Amino acid sequence: MPARNVDRTKRIIMPFDTIITALKGRFADLATSEFRDNRRVVVAPAQLFDVLKSLQEEHGFDLLFEMTAADYLKYPNAVDRFGVVYGLLNTVTGERVFVKTVLNEPDLTLPSAFSLWKGADWLEREIYDMYGILFDGHPDLRRILMPEAFAGHPLRKDYPLRGRGERHNFPVITRANS
Amino acid sequence: MALAIPDFMLAKLDPLANWVRANSLWPMPFATACCGIELMATGASKHDIARFGAEVMRFSPRQCDLMIVAGRVVMKMLPVLQRIWMQMPEPKWCISMGACASSGGVFDTYAVVQGVDRFIPVDMYVPGCPPRPEQLIQSILDLQDKIRASGTLQGTEFEQRIEHQGPLPNADVPADVVTAPGDYKKSRRVSLN
Amino acid sequence: MPLEALDTLPDGPEKDYLWTLNFGPQHPATHTTLRLILTLDGETVVKAVPDIGFLHSGFEKLGEDLDFNQYVTIVDRMNYISPIANEIAWHHVVEKLMGIDLTPRCKYIRTILAELARISDHLLCTGAQALDLGAFTAFLYGFQQREVIYDIYETISGQRFHPSYTRVGGLLYDVTEEFVRKVRSFVQEFPATHADMCRLLNRNRIFVERTQGIGVLSKELAINLSCTGPIARASGVVRDLRKDEPYLAYGELQNTFKVICATDGDSYTRYLVRMEEMLESLKIIAAAIENLPAGAVNVDVDSKVVFPAQTSVYRTIESMIQHFELVMPNRQWTPPLDEVYGAIESPNGELGFYIVSDGTGVAYRARTRPPSYIHFATFPYLIEGHQLSDVVAVLGSLNIIAAELDR
């Protein structure tokens, strides 16, 4: 199997600022932040889908490498309850960008990114399972890791680590009935 | 060469059955996690469980008489475990391999069953996270000893253990009471909505 | 998995003709615990719906309860085929969060261990893939070398399976001469085993017939489905974090290895990519062990992120205070109040952690980006239209690790 020789040093990296300027021209009130090498764009849920679509189609971020959520219930000085983070990667330039949005109860609905990336399918199901965030337009939004009959969303901060006793609630098989 | 075989032999059937059963254990590897890989290592060439007559791993429970629960068992898996245990023909034994299967191990979380012995009968516990292959082999040898020492043809040794030996949930707590996490005696599944 | 697949079929007798097969969760070819609900037309798979979660143990919830050093024992158990890769990934991200720069010696040792992990992972993956297709010997050969790698782990940490060897800012212990000797002898002896496995499988008629052209993943689909690692590289996605975003000592060892890529994207290609990657890993190990820098293995004690040496804890008050500060649950580390994502090229693909820090020594949110989870989502696309017996061939080539799949 011959390895393909690609000179990785000669990559044209589009400056992040141009992407931000282009996005800011199209979408109002777009916040950006940076920490270490993670560059983030913070958008409102209403604009999320359009920003993702624009990033995919116009700026070449073709791989959704990460999608996760966090519950900021006990976070110091947090204003919003949930945050959802999309990590996008441009497989040609190797550039990454994170798109973040925040959600509050009772409206825990986001547009599904399944139409842009098929890889979003299971990632969205997992977030629904763990946090109860709904994705509008997802083809098959069911629980994925927890049993169907399970009540509650385990990764929310108001769910205890050791659960509410679900793990002990099974019939017992003894030697007599086996 | 003529062997001096007598025309008939007298022996109790129990030791004969025990001898046969102890030396031909067919494990059913219920491998879920890390311990499953150590179970594979036990079966592979360096440790070679075949030296002790227990190498015939069969993935069909109908053909097995020793279940090795290797790895943590979680809420979604426990009904499967119980079903497979029920499908195994008598006489059957169970080895709980590793800390997770025996007690939940480091995973004291909402999803992990805190020891399979709460829900199915267990004969041998193997400590370790995961146990070394030598430990698993030792537990199989110990189980063979146990079968030789206490087995009967009719399986009457199992009749003495008709009561469940693990902790039991308490029956008189109302169903909607939420109790302290980890307190298995009073806990119940509750509806959040 | 889109459910339209069934809806496109006409109602009536054609649909009744299909039958459903439950595959797993306790099945020899699933290796661990996953379940597939297959809709079959005779022996052809029309649709596959994976059902997972049979090993969901609450890893991420535990990460919010244990501190940065304690949690390493848990991420170990997330990937039971190459545990040390997960440790390195976890502490790589924690150190990124805190802005710690490791010592050269630590970087090299971690690089060697990460590459040993890659070899042991690929050995089990290819061995088990062959085992599922009926070739037992290759599996035994692979496990023989895995035992050697286990032995190396045991030398450095005392545990052969889950070493829990990395710590914030360094390692549990420094390595010994014995480690260097064992790694050297592994580098010398491994190519023979590798050649044996290649001879057994590469041109094995049954193996090739059963894997070539099976489960083809196109480049577009691989990118769209978020694939990384050997699976993406077998489909022509030229991407390897060791080259693209060098971490640890990979920047300095850049010229010792190549990225293995292929374009066919079927099960056989994935097997070949893994086999070749082992040899590249071996080159990295050989270069790193010969250039192992001297010096300390932990970062400077004054940075207040590592434990002071035991003797100085007993003898000086400053060290005792620092030790106390690090072990008390209400003090510990003080990372910045921010969120960070970091990733390494694990044997299976991009293994990342997303840490939300609230300024304490315990992660507020410790999300794992699990390659197995993302790769298993491709399975319904890969198996559609193939035979029932190909399910095993495709599953084996994806290298699904159930603990990482379900966490």
pLDDT tens readout for residues C201-225:
888 888 898 888 888 999 989 999 9
B111/A168 Cβ within 8 A: no
pLDDT at B162: 53
For residue C339, which residues of chain A lie inside 8 Å, CB to CB?
A: 35, 38, 70, 85
Q: Are C162 and C73 in contact (CB under 8 A)?
A: yes
C272/A4 Cβ within 8 A: no
A169 touches chain B (CB under 8 A): yes
C329 burial via Cβ count (<10 Å: 0-12, 13-18, 19+): exposed
For residue B37, which residues of chain C lie inside 8 Å, CB to CB?
A: 80-81, 124, 161
Lowest mean pLDDT, pick from A13-27, A72-86, B82-96: A13-27
Q: What is the DSSP string of A72-107?
A: -TTSTT---SEEEEEEEE-TTT--EEEEEEEEBTTB
CA of B106 vs chain C CAs: smallest distance (Å)? 8
Confidence bin at A8 (pLDDT 50/70/90):
very low
Encoding tokens for residue C9?
């079929």
pLDDT at C31: 67
For residue C258, which residues of chain A lie inside 8 Å, CB to CB?
A: 3, 5
The separation between the first and the last C-alpha atoms of chain A, rounded to the nearest angstrom, is 54
Average pLDDT, chain A: 82
B86/A173 Cβ within 8 A: yes
- With 70 as the cut, is the pLDDT of residue C24 above it? yes
The separation between the first and the last C-alpha atoms of chain C, rounded to the nearest angstrom, is 20
For residue B181, which residues of chain A lie inside 8 Å, CB to CB?
A: 160-165
Q: Are strands B124-126 and C19-23 parallel, antiparallel or unpaired?
A: unpaired
pLDDT in tens, A129-168: 899 899 988 888 888 888 888 888 888 888 888 877 777 7
CA C9 to chain CA mean position, Å: 39
Closest Cα in chain A to C63: A161
List, in sequence order, every residue forming a beta bridge with C48; answer none if it has no partner.
Answer: C38
Q: Which of B74, B176, B189 to mutate to test the interface with A (most CBs of A within 10 A)?
A: B189
Lowest mean pLDDT, pick from A75-89, B54-68, B178-192, C223-237: B178-192
**Residue C304 CA: distances (Å) to CA of B153, C87, C307, C334:** 66, 21, 8, 10
Residues C87 and C162: their CA atoms lie apart, in Å, by 10
For residue A161, which residues of chain B lie inside 8 Å, CB to CB?
A: 108-110, 181
For residue B107, which residues of chain A lie inside 8 Å, CB to CB?
A: none
pLDDT at B159: 66
Closest Cα in chain C to B74: C55
**Residue of C61, C260, C369 with shortest CB distance to A65:** C369
For residue B80, which residues of chain C lie inside 8 Å, CB to CB?
A: 25-26, 54
Instruction: Give me the mean pLDDT over the B165-188 stretch.
Output: 46
C59-300+330-406 classified as CATH 1.10.645.10: yes
C26 touches chain B (CB under 8 A): yes
Angle at C145 between CA C396 and CA B53, to 5 degrees: 80
Backbone phi and psi for residue C180, each to the nearest 5 degrees, phi listed first = -60, -40
Confidence bin at C192 (pLDDT 50/70/90):
very high
Encoding tokens for residue A172?
């017992």
A&B contacts, CB < 8 Å: 102
Q: Which domains does chain B have, with CATH numbers?
A: 14-156 (3.40.50.12280)
Chains that touch C (3 or more CB pairs under 8 A): A, B
CA atoms within 13 A on the CB side of A162: 15
Instruction: Give me the mean pLDDT over the A42-64 stretch.
Output: 87
Q: Are C132 and C202 in contact (CB under 8 A)?
A: no
- With 80 as the cut, is the pLDDT of residue B154 above it? no
Residues C334 and C317: their CA atoms lie apart, in Å, by 21
Other Cβ atoms closer than 10 A to C262: 21
Q: Which residues of C93-128 are buried (b: 16+ CB within 10 A; e: fewer)?
A: bbbbbbebebbbbbbbbbbbbbbbbbbbbbbbbbbb
For residue C227, which residues of chain A lie inside 8 Å, CB to CB?
A: 119
The separation between the first and the last C-alpha atoms of chain B, rounded to the nearest angstrom, is 81
Q: Are C107 and C399 in contact (CB under 8 A)?
A: no
Residues B38 and B44: their CA atoms lie apart, in Å, by 9
Closest Cα in chain A to B176: A164
Return the DSSP state at C304.
S
Lowest mean pLDDT, pick from A115-124, C26-35, C216-225, C377-386: C26-35
B112 touches chain A (CB under 8 A): yes
pLDDT in tens, B100-117: 888 888 888 888 888 888
Closest Cα in chain C to B70: C32
**Residue of A1, A36, A122 with shortest CB distance to C373:** A122
Contacting residues for C170 by C-beta, under 8 A, at least 6 apart? C102, C103, C106, C296, C297, C298, C299, C306
Q: Could you state, in order of their start, the residue ranges of all structural domains in chain C?
A: 4-51, 59-300+330-406
A140/C1 Cβ within 8 A: yes
Q: Are B70 and B32 in contact (CB under 8 A)?
A: yes
- What residues 255-314 of chain C have any CB closer than 8 A to a CB of chain A? 258-262, 269, 272-273, 276
HEC secondary structure over A109-178: EEECCCCCCCCHHHHHHHHHHHHCCEEECCCCCCCCCCCCCCCCCCCCCCCCCCCCCHHHCCCCCCCCCC
Closest Cα in chain A to B123: A175
- Report CA dihedral (C291, C294, C296, C297) to the nearest 10 degrees: 30
C199 touches chain B (CB under 8 A): no
Residues A129 and A149: their CA atoms lie apart, in Å, by 12
Closest Cα in chain A to C53: A145
For residue A152, which residues of chain B lie inside 8 Å, CB to CB?
A: 192
HEC secondary structure over A25-70: HHCCCCEEEEECCEEEEEECHHHHHHHHHHHHHHHCCCEEEEEEEE
Radius of gyration of chain B from its Cα atoms, rounded to whole angstroms: 20
- What residues 96-155 of chain C have any CB closer than 8 A to a CB of chain B? 124, 139-140, 143-144, 146-147, 150
What percent of chain B stands above pLDDT 70?
A: 81
C377/A119 Cβ within 8 A: yes
**Residue of A167, A171, A174 with shortest CB distance to B111:** A167
CA atoms within 13 A on the CB side of A46: 4
Instruction: Give me the mean pLDDT over the A64-79 stretch.
Output: 89
pLDDT at C274: 92
Encoding tokens for residue C106?
């630590």
Closest Cα in chain B to A172: B119
Backbone phi and psi for residue C302, each to the nearest 5 degrees, phi listed first = -65, -15
For residue C350, which residues of chain A lie inside 8 Å, CB to CB?
A: 65
Lowest mean pLDDT, pick from B159-163, C181-185, C310-314: B159-163
Residues C391 and C38: their CA atoms lie apart, in Å, by 10
C80/B109 Cβ within 8 A: no
Residues of B contacting chain C (CB within 8 angstroms): 30-34, 36-38, 40-41, 44-46, 59, 71-72, 74-77, 80, 84, 106-107, 109-112, 129-130, 132
Chains that touch B (3 or more CB pairs under 8 A): A, C
**Residue of A36, A91, A155 with shortest CB distance to C340:** A36
Confidence bin at C185 (pLDDT 50/70/90):
very high
List, in sequence order, every residue forming a beta bridge with B97; answer none if it has no partner.
Answer: B70, B126
- With 80 as the cut, is the pLDDT of residue C143 above it? yes
Confidence bin at B170 (pLDDT 50/70/90):
very low
Instruction: Give me the mean pLDDT over the C118-128 stretch.
Output: 90
Q: Are A173 and B120 in contact (CB under 8 A)?
A: yes
pLDDT at C29: 63
Encoding tokens for residue A146?
């927890």
Other Cβ atoms closer than 10 A to C148: 19
Closest Cα in chain C to B40: C143
Q: Are A66 and A96 in contact (CB under 8 A)?
A: no
Average pLDDT, chain B: 78
Residues C213 and C267: their CA atoms lie apart, in Å, by 7
Q: Omega into C25 within 30° of 0, i.e. cis?
A: yes
Q: Are A137 and A112 in contact (CB under 8 A)?
A: yes
**Residue B156 CA: distances (Å) to CA of A175, B153, C381:** 11, 8, 53
- With 70 as the cut, is the pLDDT of residue B167 above it? no
pLDDT at B161: 56
Q: Are strands C35-41 and C19-23 parallel, antiparallel or unpaired?
A: antiparallel
Confidence bin at B187 (pLDDT 50/70/90):
very low
Instruction: Give me the mean pLDDT over the C97-111 stretch.
Output: 90
Q: Are C128 and C31 in contact (CB under 8 A)?
A: yes
pLDDT at A14: 54
Average pLDDT, chain C: 87
Confidence bin at C393 (pLDDT 50/70/90):
confident
| Nearest C-alpha neighbor of C404 from the set C367, C379, C364 | C367
Q: Which domains does chain A have, with CATH numbers?
A: 16-168 (3.30.460.80)
Q: Are A13 and A93 in contact (CB under 8 A)?
A: yes
Residues B116 and B80: their CA atoms lie apart, in Å, by 12
Residues C352 and C374: their CA atoms lie apart, in Å, by 12
Confidence bin at A7 (pLDDT 50/70/90):
very low
Residues B36 and B137: their CA atoms lie apart, in Å, by 14
Site of tokens 């509050």 = A104
C162 touches chain B (CB under 8 A): yes
Q: Are A110 and A103 in contact (CB under 8 A)?
A: yes
pLDDT at B163: 53
Radius of gyration of chain C from its Cα atoms, rounded to whole angstroms: 22
A36/C97 Cβ within 8 A: yes
Instruction: Give me the mean pLDDT over the C77-81 stretch.
Output: 87
